[in-house]
Chains A and B, each alone.
Chain A
Amino acid sequence: MITQMQVKGLMFDPYNNAYIVILRDEDQSEMLPIWVGKSEAGAISLALENVSPPRPMTHDFMKAYLDAVNAKVISIVVTDLNENTYFAKIHLTYEDSEYTIDSRPSDAIALALRSQAPIFVNESVIKKQSTEEFDQWLENLKPEDFGKLDS
C-alpha cells in the first residue's frame, strides 16, 4: 500500500546542521520527516516557492533533460527506510514504456515538484520511521527553530 503525500515544509535542523523535508498525507494523519543536505534542500525550496533562478539549477537541468527526450515523470515513491537512509523510486514514461529508477528521496522530490508529479510513500516506511527519534528531536527544539516551516 502506498499513501500520497505532499511537501508541507522545510525546516532547518540546527542539531545536525541539515534540513528536514516534512511530508504529510491529505487528511494530516501521517507525517514523514526526511533529512536532506543543504543543496538538496535549496533545490526543493526553489520549487516550493516557484522561483525561477536566472540559470537552470541541477534539478532544472534534470527536468530539461527529460523534457528534451519527451520522458515524463509519472510519480515518485519513497520506498524504504534502512538505517536512517531513505530510498526512492522515480517512475518515468518514455516512448510508451515505463521505467523505474533508483534515487535518493531528495532528488526524487525536487524533480517531482518541478514535474507536477505526485509523491507517494510506502506505508511500511511510515510505520518503520523512528517516531521516537523524531519526538525526542522535537522536544529539544526551541520555538525560534520553527521559523522556516511553511504552513
Chain B
Amino acid sequence: MSEPTPQSAEPLIELTVDRVVEDSTTDTRIVVLSRTDGQTERFMIWIGAAEGESIRRALDTAVTPRPMSHDLIKHFGEHLGVTVPRVVLTDVKSSTYFATVYLENKGVTRTIDARPSDAIALALRCHTPIYVTQDVWRRRSGQNLDAWLSKLETKNIGAQEV
C-alpha cells in the first residue's frame, strides 16, 4: 500500500470533468470527461446516482448545509495535512474502471484503490488533476457516443433541472 504503483513509460493523459448526465432509464449517472490537450474525443463512465450527484455538486461548487461524504474525506486531509497530488484511472476490466488515489504527507506518497467516482469526487474538491493511462484511454467505451449522449441530454432536460 505504501509503494506508488509503477508508472508505464507512456505519459498519462490529463482529463477534466465536463459534466454529469442523468441516465434516467437505469437511475445511474454518466460522468463525461474530456482531455485537457484539446483533443475532442471524450471519456464516459457510468456511476451510481449518489456519486454522480456528489460530482455534480463539486462541479457547481454547491455548498450543502452539512458536509457530504466526499467533503468529509476532504476535511480529513485538511485536518491531518494530507494532500491528494493526483488521481489516475488505471485499469478497466469487464467494463469496470479502476482508479488509484495518491496521498501525500510529509514527502511520503501512498496510493489507495478507489472507484473512479470516489476518486473524481475527491479530486474536484481538492483541485487535484485527474489522469488516465494511455492503455485505459485506448480501451475506453463510448468512443462514438457523442450523438447518443446529446440525444439523452435533450430528453433529460426536465430531469436535470434540480
Contacts and interface: CB of A to CB of B under 8 A. Distances in A.
B67 A68 contact: no
Interface stretch (A9-17, A52-60, A137-145): A52-60
B65 interface: yes
Q: Is the interface of B mostly helix, strand, loop or mixed?
A: mixed
B66 interface: yes
A101 B79 contact: yes
Q: Is the interface of A mostly helix, strand, loop or mixed?
A: mixed
B124 to A, nearest CB: 14
Interface of B: 1-2, 48-51, 65-70, 72-73, 75-76, 79-80, 82, 96, 98, 101, 103, 105, 110-115, 118
Interface residues of A, number: 29
Given A58-B118, A61-B118, A69 B103 contact: yes
A118 B50 CA distance: 27
A8 interface: no
B79 A99 contact: yes
Contact of B112 (A38, A40, A68): A68
Interface of A: 37-40, 55-59, 61-62, 64-69, 71, 85, 87, 90, 92, 94, 99, 101-104, 107
A65 B73 contact: yes
Nearest to B114: A61
A142 B92 CA distance: 46
Contacts of B111: 68
B112 to A, nearest CB: 5
